C-alpha cells in the first residue's frame, strides 16, 4: 500500500514571497475588507460636517469636538483588528513555517494597513479646512476667530490609528472572541472620545488616547476687567464651564509629546500580543518612548 500525501494550497494573496511577508499581506487584505473602519470614517466625516455647520455649544466646541471625533476612527480600526489577536491564539503544528511570535508580529504589521487611509483622510480634511479659512470659534466677549490644526495635532489621528491596531489585537488576544473584545473596545473609545473630558485634565491629558485642544488656561479672576489683560490673548469669559477668565491656548509642543507617547503606547500594547524575545524588545522600546513623550509634555509651559 502506498501512502498518500495531503498538500494544502496557500491562501489567496500569500503565494509569493517569504511566509512572513505573505502573512502580512494576507492580514492587510483582511482588515482592509472589514466594514468597521470604513463605517467609522463615514461617521467621522458626518460628525465634522455637523459640527462645522451647527451652533456651537460653547465657544471652542467646534475645534474640540472635531478632535474628539478621532475616537470614532480608533474604534473602527480596533474592531477590525480584533481578529488579529483572536487568530493569534490558534495553535499550529510545530512544523509551521513561522514560529508563534513571528506570526503575531506579521499579523500586527498587516493591521497597520489601516493607518494609511487615516493619514490620507486627515490630510484631505486639513486641506479642506485651510481652503475654507479654518475652524470658527466664537470667543467671548463677542469675537470670532479661526484656527487650523498644527502639524503635530494632525499627526495625532495617525498615531491614534497605530494605537488602535495594537489595542484591537490585544483585546482579541486577551478575550479570545470578537464579540466581548468589541464590547470592551466600545467602552474604551467612548471614554476617549464622547466622554473625552474625563481624561483630559491637567495631568491625565498626557496619558489619554485622544488629547483635545485648545486648552483653557487660567488668566484672571472673574471680576477682572478684560481690557486690562494683554491684547494678544484670546479670552473666554467666565461661564458655566469655568468660573474665571480663561486664555485659549494651542500648544504644538504638548501635541508633539503626546504623539511620541502614543507611539510608545502602541509598542507596549503590541508586546502583549507577541511572545518570545520580540515581546521584550517591544516592551522596552515602548516603555522608553512613552516615558519620553510624557516627559516632553510635562516640560511644556502653557
**pLDDT tens-digit series, residues 9-60:** 444 444 445 888 888 899 999 999 999 999 999 999 999 888 888 777 777 8
Looking at per-residue confidence, does 95 or 181 come out higher?
Answer: 181
Nearest of 114, 106, 159 to residue 278 by alpha carbon: 106
Average pLDDT of the residues in 246-267: 94
Cis peptide upstream of residue 256 (ω within 30 degrees of 0): no
Average of pLDDT values for 212-228? 86
**pLDDT value of residue 160:** 97
Most confident of 14-23, 241-250, 287-296: 287-296
Mean of the per-residue pLDDT values of the chain: 85
* Burial class of residue 157, CB neighbours in 10 A (0-12, 13-18, 19+): buried
Domain ranges of the chain: 19-202
Q: How much helix, strand and coil, in percent to the nearest 5, is found in the chain?
A: 60, 10, 30
Tell me: the pLDDT tens digits for 120-138? 999 999 998 888 888 887 6
Which pLDDT score is estimated for 270? 93
Question: Predicted confidence band at 145 (pLDDT cuts at 50, 70, 90)?
Answer: confident
Predicted confidence at residue 89, as pLDDT, reads: 56
Higher pLDDT, 193 or 217: 193
Check pLDDT > 50 for residue 239.
yes
Name the pLDDT band for 267 (thresholds 50, 70, 90).
Answer: very high
**Is residue 297 over pLDDT 90?**
yes
Count Cβ atoms below 10 Å from residue 292 Cβ, excluding itself. 15
Region 219-233 average pLDDT: 83
Per-residue model confidence (pLDDT) at position 234: 79
CB 27 within 8 A of CB 110: yes
- Please, are residues 66 and 47 in contact by the beta-carbon 8 Å criterion? yes
Residue 191 pLDDT:
94
Amino acid at each position: 500500500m502506498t501512502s498518500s500525501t495531503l498538500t494544502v494550497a496557500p491562501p489567496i494573496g500569500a503565494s509569493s514571497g517569504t511566509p512572513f511577508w505573505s502573512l502580512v499581506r494576507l492580514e492587510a487584505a483582511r482588515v482592509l475588507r472589514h466594514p468597521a473602519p470604513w463605517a467609522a470614517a463615514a461617521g467621522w466625516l458626518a460628525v465634522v460636517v455637523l459640527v462645522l455647520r451647527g451652533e456651537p455649544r460653547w465657544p471652542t466646541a467646534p475645534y474640540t469636538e472635531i478632535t474628539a471625533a478621532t475616537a470614532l476612527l480608533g474604534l473602527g480600526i480596533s474592531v477590525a483588528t480584533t481578529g488579529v489577536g483572536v487568530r493569534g491564539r490558534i495553535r499550529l503544528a510545530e512544523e509551521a513555517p513561522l514560529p508563534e511570535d513571528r506570526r503575531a508580529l506579521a499579523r500586527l504589521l498587516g493591521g497597520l494597513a489601516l493607518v494609511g487611509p487615516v493619514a490620507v483622510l486627515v490630510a484631505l480634511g486639513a486641506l479642506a479646512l485651510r481652503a475654507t479659512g479654518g475652524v470658527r470659534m466664537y470667543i467671548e466677549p463677542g469675537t470670532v476667530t479661526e484656527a487650523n490644526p498644527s502639524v503635530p495635532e494632525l499627526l495625532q489621528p495617525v498615531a491614534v490609528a497605530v494605537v488602535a491596531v495594537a489595542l484591537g489585537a490585544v483585546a482579541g488576544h486577551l478575550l479570545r472572541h470578537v464579540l466581548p473584545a468589541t464590547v470592551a473596545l466600545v467602552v474604551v473609545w467612548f471614554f476617549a472620545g464622547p466622554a473625552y473630558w474625563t481624561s483630559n485634565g491637567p495631568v491625565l491629558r498626557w496619558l489619554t488616547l485622544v488629547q483635545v485642544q485648545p486648552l483653557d488656561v487660567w488668566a484672571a479672576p472673574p471680576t477682572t476687567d478684560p481690557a486690562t489683560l494683554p491684547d494678544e490673548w484670546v479670552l473666554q469669559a467666565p461661564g458655566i464651564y469655568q468660573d474665571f477668565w480663561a486664555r485659549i491656548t494651542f500648544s504644538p509642543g504638548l501635541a508633539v509629546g503626546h504623539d511620541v507617547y502614543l507611539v510608545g503606547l502602541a509598542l507596549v500594547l503590541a508586546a502583549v500580543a507577541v511572545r518570545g524575545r520580540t515581546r521584550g524588545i517591544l516592551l522596552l522600546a515602548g516603555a522608553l518612548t512613552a516615558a519620553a513623550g510624557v516627559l516632553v509634555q510635562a516640560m511644556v509651559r502653557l
